[in-house]
């Protein structure tokens, strides 16, 4: 198979790795366990990415798959709730951290003109896993009980994830040439662009989970049924999938950095729409477009890292930037809940989330007109 065509195999492998990782993450976890796992996979993105740059994405992804399988198997054998939660949250957090960043980082050097489109297809595996994981868990619990369901999911992850990890590989030009063309992580972290993007991720992710946590209760307070509230949250997930599949190709033509700024603005505008209405069809429109904006920017950030810094430390830079997303994700839902408890209103959390989204766009605005150049190797 030609090098150009194998790039799409890498996309498929990355999609599969993210699909099985996030299917495992969303299958059984309760809120606290999921929060611990999510914090771990954001935290481990940086060392996982650095390891992928040094040892290759295949080895790190295989280690991540092994961690996922071990976590699920140990959970099936747990004799107490504490052991179950510990094995699940730590093992899943470690596993996702070691498959997510290395796999999305591996995609970037294979593509030039279609990079954002390819990246969007790869990260769509996250949304597909979010949807499929709970459905698979419910089905297997009915067939095998909860212990058997954990084992079934372990086998599922081992077979699909293991095959995908074996299929993923570095772009041949990088593997053959030694140190790749581009900027090492330490130098990237000294550039203003890195910290502009980092700040945008922290700010946007503080507000990102406000609707995911509060949209359902908001709809019920407005007089809608619980099912209608759940539907609105589901529309965010659907929009996220649409954004990951569609916006990348547009961004490849119109510019990736301007598209990232536009997605941040889109988040802010949709949050203002949410604040201004209780009409169900407008809430549905908000949820769908908000999800599209969110899904698109998740796909765009890795491509922009490749544009700015080249292939040399692409996974390490992506993983380090994602610690900013981890910070925002960790504090955002807590701050929103505290504000609602104190004021008895959703107004402040929604408006604050909108303002933070606009600030995220402001952070990357200086980069929109900046000519993107890949630094020469050896810098």
Residue 345 phi/psi, 5-degree rounding, is -145, 150
Contact between 359 and 267 under an 8 Å Cβ cutoff? The reply is no
pLDDT of residue 2: 55
**Of 42, 44, 12, 214, which is closest to residue 123 (Cα–Cα)?**
12
C-alpha 379/C-alpha 310 separation (Å) is: 11
CATH number of 3-177: 1.20.1250.20
Contact between 214 and 340 under an 8 Å Cβ cutoff? The reply is yes
C-alpha 45/C-alpha 72 separation (Å) is: 21
Identify any residues that bridge with 43 across adjacent strands, giving them in sequence order.
none
For the CA atoms of the chain, what is the radius of gyration?
Answer: 20
C-alpha 121/C-alpha 105 separation (Å) is: 13
C-alpha 314/C-alpha 292 separation (Å) is: 25
pLDDT of residue 176: 46
- CA of 38: how far to CAs of 96, 100, 107, 126, in Å? 9, 12, 22, 13
CATH match of 185-368 with 1.20.1250.20: yes
3-state secondary structure 292-330: HHHHHHHHHHHHHHHHHHECCCHHHHHHHHHHHHHHHHH
Per residue in 295-336, pLDDT tens?
A: 888 889 999 999 899 888 889 999 999 888 888 877 776 777
Collapsing DSSP to helix, strand or coil, 72 comes out as: helix
Residue for token digits 């940086």? Answer: 46
C-alpha 18/C-alpha 194 separation (Å) is: 25
Identify any residues that bridge with 310 across adjacent strands, giving them in sequence order.
182
Weakly modelled stretches of the chain, pLDDT under 50:
176-177, 371-379
C-alpha 274/C-alpha 44 separation (Å) is: 34
C-alpha 134/C-alpha 126 separation (Å) is: 13
Domain boundaries, the chain: 3-177, 185-368
Cβ neighbours of residue 356 closer than 8 Å, sequence gap 6 or more: 203, 204, 206, 207
pLDDT of residue 30: 62
Indicate the DSSP class of residue 379: -
The number of CA neighbours under 13 Å toward the Cβ of 359 is: 15
Cβ neighbours of residue 216 closer than 8 Å, sequence gap 6 or more: 226, 229, 230, 232, 233
Cβ neighbours of residue 102 closer than 8 Å, sequence gap 6 or more: 48, 49, 51, 52, 57, 60, 61, 64, 168, 315
C-alpha 353/C-alpha 194 separation (Å) is: 22
Cβ neighbours of residue 274 closer than 8 Å, sequence gap 6 or more: 211, 215, 218, 283, 286, 290, 350
**Topology agreement, domain 3-177 and domain 185-368:** yes
| CA 264, 309, 325, 92 torsion-angle sign | positive
**Of 250, 349, 362, which is closest to residue 295 (Cα–Cα)?**
250
Residue 210 phi/psi, 5-degree rounding, is -60, -50
Query: How many CB atoms within 10 Å of residue 218?
Result: 21
pLDDT of residue 59: 94
């Amino acid at each position: 198979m030609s090098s150009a065509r194998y790039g799409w195999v890498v996309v498929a492998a990355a999609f599969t790795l993210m699909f099985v990782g996030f299917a495992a993450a969303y299958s059984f976890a309760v809120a606290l366990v999921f929060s611990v796992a999510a914090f771990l996979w954001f935290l481990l993105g940086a060392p996982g990415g650095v390891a992928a740059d040094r040892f290759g994405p295949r080895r790190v992804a295989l280690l991540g798959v092994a961690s996922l399988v071990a976590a699920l198997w140990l959970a099936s054998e747990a004799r107490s709730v504490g052991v179950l939660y510990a094995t699940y949250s730590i093992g899943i957090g470690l596993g996702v951290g070691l498959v997510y960043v290395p796999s999305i980082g591996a995609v970037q050097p294979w593509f030039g003109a279609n990079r954002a489109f390819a990246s969007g297809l790869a990260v769509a595996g996250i949304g597909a896993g979010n949807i499929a994981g709970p459905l698979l868990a419910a089905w297997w619990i009915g067939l095998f009980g909860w212990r058997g369901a954990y084992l079934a999911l372990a086998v599922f992850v081992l077979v699909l994830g293991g095959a995908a990890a074996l299929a993923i590989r570095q772009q041949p030009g990088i593997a053959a040439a030694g140190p790749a063309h581009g900027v090492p992580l330490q130098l990237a972290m000294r550039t203003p662009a890195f910290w502009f993007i980092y700040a945008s991720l922290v700010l946007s992710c503080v507000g990102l989970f406000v609707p995911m946590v509060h949209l359902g209760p908001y709809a019920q307070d407005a007089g809608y049924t619980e099912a209608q509230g759940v539907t609105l949250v589901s529309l965010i997930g659907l929009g996220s999938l649409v954004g990951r599949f569609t916006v990348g190709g547009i961004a490849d033509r119109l510019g990736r950095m301007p598209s990232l700024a536009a997605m941040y603005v889109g988040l802010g505008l949709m949050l203002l729409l949410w604040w201004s209405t209780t009409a169900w069809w407008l809430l549905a429109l908000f949820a769908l477009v908000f999800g599209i904006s969110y899904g698109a920017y998740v796909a765009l950030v890795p491509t922009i890292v490749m544009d700015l810094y080249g292939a040399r430390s692409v996974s390490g830079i992506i993983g380090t930037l994602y610690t900013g997303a981890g910070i925002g994700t960790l504090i955002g839902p807590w701050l929103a809940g505290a504000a609602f408890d104190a004021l008895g209103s959703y107004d402040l959390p929604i408006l604050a989330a909108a303002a933070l989204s606009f600030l995220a766009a402001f952070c990357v605005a200086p980069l929109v007109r900046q000519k993107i150049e890949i630094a020469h190797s050896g810098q």
